[in-house]
Amino acid sequence: MSTEMSPQEFYGEKLIYLEGAIIELTSRLDIIRKFKIANSDRDPIEHYTTRIKSVESMKEKLRKHGMPETVDAVIGNIYDAAGIRVICTYIDDVYTVANMLMSQSDITVIRVKDYIKNPKESGYRSFHIIVQIPLHVGENTVDVYAEIQLRTMSMDFWASLDHKLKYKQDVPNAKLIARELRRFADELASTEMNFQAIRDMIDENTVES
């Protein structure tokens, strides 16, 4: 019985490029957090998670785009082999962190998709950035792609439920469920804006006092 190829077997020595991109970007995130706190501000990040796309998912993506199932095709063409998901407290924290990352001179922004201001039809909301970051490996510098997804806790909660439901097969009333999920997403967005407004009022009163 065949077993799935491990990331090390598929990516080989180039696995360190993907791991290195994640290390570089998480370091930048940690510095942003420390900077905000040192300047008497809130930590805008609740937590973050990282991942390198699995071999099975990567091969499926390469086939979908008509590319050879090789690591060279990945490094040169696939933007989201390395990924970071950043969970923020409030919506404005998402934009604060995103802007602080994108303004760094050695990070090249390839593409931005704002699904918060322009949610997907399903109700999915998140802020996606594709970046290219220089990685110093020995005497060489390699530019590596990575995807950063920034969202709030409620956006992440909704996306997690939506993902789990989509993987269930033969769900009855699928269209009704899709409408309910969209309604739920809209309700969460409204609640989230209310929480942010309350926080702003608390902050204003704190400054005045």
Q: Among 68, 51, 65, 70, which residue's Cα sits nearest to residue 5?
A: 70
- Is 24 a known active-site residue? no
Catalytic residue among 147, 187, 192, 208: 147
What is the rounded CA–CA span in Å between residue 7 and residue 100? 31
In the structure encoding, which two tokens stand for residue 179, read together? 């409408």
SS3 readout for the chain: CCCCCCHHHHHHHHHHHHHHHHHHHHHHHHHHHHHHHHCCCCCCEEEEEEEECCHHHHHHHHHHCCCCCCHHHHHHHCCCCEEEEEEECCHHHHHHHHHHHHCCCCCEEEEEEECCCCCCCCCCCCEEEEEEEEEEECCEEEEEEEEEEEEEHHHHHHHHHHHHHHCCCCCCCHHHHHHHHHHHHHHHHHHHHHHHHHHHHHHHHHHHC
CA distance 75 to 91: 32
Catalytic residue numbers read 147
